[in-house]
Structure 1
Amino acid sequence: MPTTHRRRLIDMTGLTPLSATTVTPDPQAAYRELQERWGMVAPVELEPGIHAWLVMGHHELCQVVRNEQLFSRDPNNWRLFTEGVVTADSGLGPMMFPRDNAYFADGDKHRRLRGPIDDGIASLDEHRMSRFIRSTCADLVRGFEQRGAADLVAEYAAVVPMLTVAGFFGISPEQGEELRMALIALVSSAADSHEPALQVERILSDTMAERRREHADDLTAEFLRHPNLHNDFEIQQSMVLMISAGYETTATWIAQTLRLMLADQRFAGRLRGGRLGLDDALDEVLWRDPPMSNMPARYALVDCELAGQPIERGDALILGMAAANADPRVHTNDPWLEIGNRSHLAWSAGPHACPAQRAGRMITRIAVDTALHRLHDVTLAIPADEVMLLPSPWTRCPASLPVRFTPPGPPPRF
């Protein structure tokens, strides 16, 4: 049966919103409901009237991300975008509108712009990174540890990644916080992004100018001298991509790992001699609540079929990372059997796989370890099932993580 004819048989009205898979306490139940109706590739609604395909099978997702000839990362190939169906002020803009960086490029352009990021990460001294991350985390904890209570999302998990990644570029903690607020404003308001965009550009331009005057051994200097980056605009865009990509995903990973270790007795007991530890918790989050539950997007370059569904040229495909990780073809439901299993797709795969897996794990591991060891007798201040999630079709980050702990006593007197 021709693909165009089969497409007419699919009713694109009344589709399940993609956010139904992230706002629910049981995302896998939402994915299973879609799979029972549609199979491993299901039509979903991104916004009212804006549909896409959600790829939920491990094998099918790998097919998509490893085939640039069929599925592009460039949103200029998205039919609903180029035809103006998706409006300029759409909330999808921050994640799905084109930008001139490696994230939204294919082929030779992607390889050229990705090269400086790969080389920059490889140039980082991991021992120095570790000391810097640990110092940053300790400073943040020191700011609230005397209170005996804190929100480990707003005051910690949401701050650590920006300060550390910005620090890799030689950006000071004060400018890092300013950059964090500007980026939040930039991605949260497609309609009024001029001022925060100028603020981001100013911070990065000042950092670049300083490196040109005074050489330093950081990522800004690495980008400035890299032959693949042809002008200041490309350097800035690469900096923004690396900082912003590392910010939200790492914040989510930190928050979800802290929640798991404080709420789940398999891990909470570890603080008091239990059976499972921090690395087990980090891996379980990557499997069950990965930093990006649903990642946008790939765009079909030709009419084709995927898991029996008729995909038309220009259709958007969303990568269901959390669903693919639970695919019974690669994953069991027994958490004890999964210890040490790292065949998940939390980092995606193919040419666009996350280049900073080691750095992201280092930041997250040190952040969680520092909080749990410096905050004595730390416990959740609310029942675990009352931890709310930030509204997003892409991630399942806790909105807050209120905790109580015993403040440290006064220093000893000699």
Structure 2
Amino acid sequence: MTGLIPLVSTTMCPEPQHVFQKLREEYGPVAPVELEPGINGWLVLGYQEILTVTRQEETFAADPANWSVYQDDRLAPDSQVRAMMSPYDNAFFTDGERHRRLRAPIDGGLGRIDQRQLRRAVTALCTGVIADFAGRGEADLVADYAAVIPVLAMADVFGMDAPQGRALYRGLLELYSWEGDAEAARQRVLGLAAEAVAARRAAPSEDLTSYLAHHPNLHSDAEIYDTILLLIVGANENGINWISQTLRLMLTDSRFGGRLRGGRLGVDDALDEVLWRDPPFSNVAGRYALKDTELGGQAIRRGDALILGLAAANADPRIHAGGGAAIEVGNRAHVSWSAGPHSCPARLPARLIVRTAVETALHRLPGVRLAIPPEEVVSVDSAWTRGPASLPVRFTPVSSPGSDQP
């Protein structure tokens, strides 16, 4: 594999569909790409191929310990794929019976969340965050809002108080900033999880920490802490991008907005369109071939890495009527939550948090509008997502946005 396009070309570009089309024309539904200089892998572009890879555990493993690059220690210390493609002791990076054992507490815990209570808590949280900038008449809806809400919402679900939530937010910022000591930041976040577990062992409650701390499937404190970290990190990264992308769509596309903005489509429609066209993660790492096999006409070798091209698979012309990529309102057959045993377990609470965050921002910021031309919104520097780096907006200043809280 030489002269390959970088994976980041599918995210850091004006129109990824053009990149997907070029790759399909040259390689078909599975294309070789450069993950970073000197490190190559396969990008799975096809909808059916995504289903194959995610459902066949006997051929494609989630554990990066099966990746030949990891086994040969070929990742540089400053590698930007290391964080996404290194083994961790949680459900996302394990397979088979161990994965099922670690996944069961996650499914059970998330299923216990009171949706009405969560909505009330997130509405209050969003209103409080908006109060910090509502009087200015301007804000960055990524840095000031979308980047804050998911982690604080999850902190509440885990029974953490406001100071712990803010500490968690600061730890995650450092962990994913590519600056400073990421491992030290990870240990601080795990330390917050440990504090929460110790508190709930002393005084059990109805929160998710109590449930996980006493679950028989989690056999050690390390497994409990790593499970908490997995849920918080997953919800945070997905939530930031989904909120940001939906707000961008609502503010720039005349089809959307309902009674607030004159469009015929509302927030739920915008949420679904984002999942189809610009999902929270465009690309997801990964799966690792356990044996030589064939996929989409390509010879996959044992130890090869496969990246799940979720955005590409959603646009696969083979699954859309007439070969186009038109998105039907109400159609949720996308693969933005992945598929198979490792599909996202938090889609219901995630949607509730994101929908509440978007609705609250549109409601509490009168006359909100993008402060720059839509074409000047740039994506974050990432091979995994196309979320906007910032969304500068202006609106009518509000002195007390919570005064008319429903």
Structure 1-normalised TM-score?
A: 0.94
CA distance in 1, matches of 2:295, 2:326: 33
* 1:225 and 2:224 matched: no
Q: Deviations over 1:302-346 (max 9, x none)?
A: 101111100000000000000000012223587876111110000
Q: How does 1:75-90 map to 2 (within 5 A)?
A: 75-90=64-79
Q: Is there any run of 5+ residues in structure 2 with no aligned partner, and where?
A: none
Q: Which residue of 1 aligns with 2:377?
A: 387
Q: Which residue of 2 aligns with 1:7?
A: none
Q: Which residue of 2 aligns with 1:179?
A: 168
- Matched AA of 2:32: P
Q: How does 1:9-28 map to 2 (within 5 A)?
A: 12-28=1-17
CA distance in 1, matches of 2:258, 2:72: 55
CA 1:336 to 1:307, structure 2 compared with 1: closer, same or farther past 3 Å?
closer
- Contact 2:55 2:340 (C-alpha < 8 Å) held by counterparts: yes
* 1:294 and 2:247 matched: no
CA distance in 1, matches of 2:312, 2:296: 15
**What's the CA shift for 1:270?**
4.9
Equivalent residue for 1:44, pick from 33, 38, 46? 33
Q: Which residue of 2 aligns with 1:157?
A: 146
CA 1:404 to 1:107, structure 2 compared with 1: closer, same or farther past 3 Å?
same
**What's the CA shift for 1:84?**
1.5
CA distance in 1, matches of 2:292, 2:209: 42
CA distance in 1, matches of 2:225, 2:138: 38
Q: Deviations over 1:50-70 (max 9, x none)?
A: 000000000111000000000
Question: How many equivalent residue pairs?
Answer: 401
- Contact 2:289 2:301 (C-alpha < 8 Å) held by counterparts: yes
- Matched AA of 1:375: L
Q: Which residue of 1 aligns with 2:137?
A: 148
- Matched AA of 1:178: A
Q: How does 1:345-360 map to 2 (within 5 A)?
A: 345-360=335-350
CA distance in 1, matches of 2:273, 2:324: 11
- Contact 2:320 2:326 (C-alpha < 8 Å) held by counterparts: no
Q: Which residue of 1 aligns with 2:125?
A: 136
Q: Which residue of 1 aligns with 2:237?
A: 248
- Matched AA of 2:64: P
Q: Which residue of 1 aligns with 2:398?
A: 408
Q: Deviations over 1:372-402 (max 9, x none)?
A: 0110010000001100111000001100000
CA distance in 2, matches of 1:384, 1:173: 35
- Contact 1:270 1:276 (C-alpha < 8 Å) held by counterparts: no
CA distance in 1, matches of 2:127, 2:255: 26
- Matched AA of 1:86: L
* 1:375 and 2:365 matched: yes
- Matched AA of 1:257: T
* 1:71 and 2:60 matched: yes
Q: How does 1:314-329 map to 2 (within 5 A)?
A: 314-329=303-318
- Contact 1:380 1:402 (C-alpha < 8 Å) held by counterparts: yes
* 1:397 and 2:387 matched: yes
- Matched AA of 2:268: D
**What's the CA shift for 1:268?**
4.3
CA distance in 2, matches of 1:193, 1:211: 27
Q: Deviations over 1:37-79 (max 9, x none)?
A: 1111000001101000000000111000000000000001000
SS at match of 1:406: coil
CA 1:73 to 1:190, structure 2 compared with 1: closer, same or farther past 3 Å?
farther
- Matched AA of 2:345: P
SS at match of 1:87: coil
Q: Which residue of 2 aligns with 1:32?
A: 21
**What's the CA shift for 1:286?**
0.2
- Contact 1:88 1:191 (C-alpha < 8 Å) held by counterparts: no
Q: Which residue of 2 aligns with 1:3?
A: none
SS at match of 2:31: strand
- Contact 2:160 2:196 (C-alpha < 8 Å) held by counterparts: yes
- Matched AA of 1:322: A
CA distance in 2, matches of 1:143, 1:399: 20
Tell which deviates more after alignment, 174-183 or 399-408. Answer: 174-183
Tell which deviates more after alignment, 93-102 or 328-337. Answer: 328-337
CA distance in 1, matches of 2:305, 2:57: 14
Structure 2-normalised TM-score?
A: 0.95
**What's the CA shift for 1:271?**
2.1
Equivalent residue for 1:342, pick from 332, 336, 345? 332
Q: Is there any run of 5+ residues in structure 1 with no aligned partner, and where?
A: 1-11
- Contact 2:141 2:393 (C-alpha < 8 Å) held by counterparts: yes
CA distance in 1, matches of 2:135, 2:237: 28
**What's the CA shift for 1:88?**
3.7
Equivalent residue for 1:97, pick from 86, 97, 115? 86
Equivalent residue for 1:366, pick from 347, 356, 372? 356
CA distance in 2, matches of 1:304, 1:335: 30
Equivalent residue for 2:225, pick from 236, 255, 262? 236
**What's the CA shift for 1:186?**
2.5
* 1:307 and 2:296 matched: yes
**What's the CA shift for 1:207?**
1.1
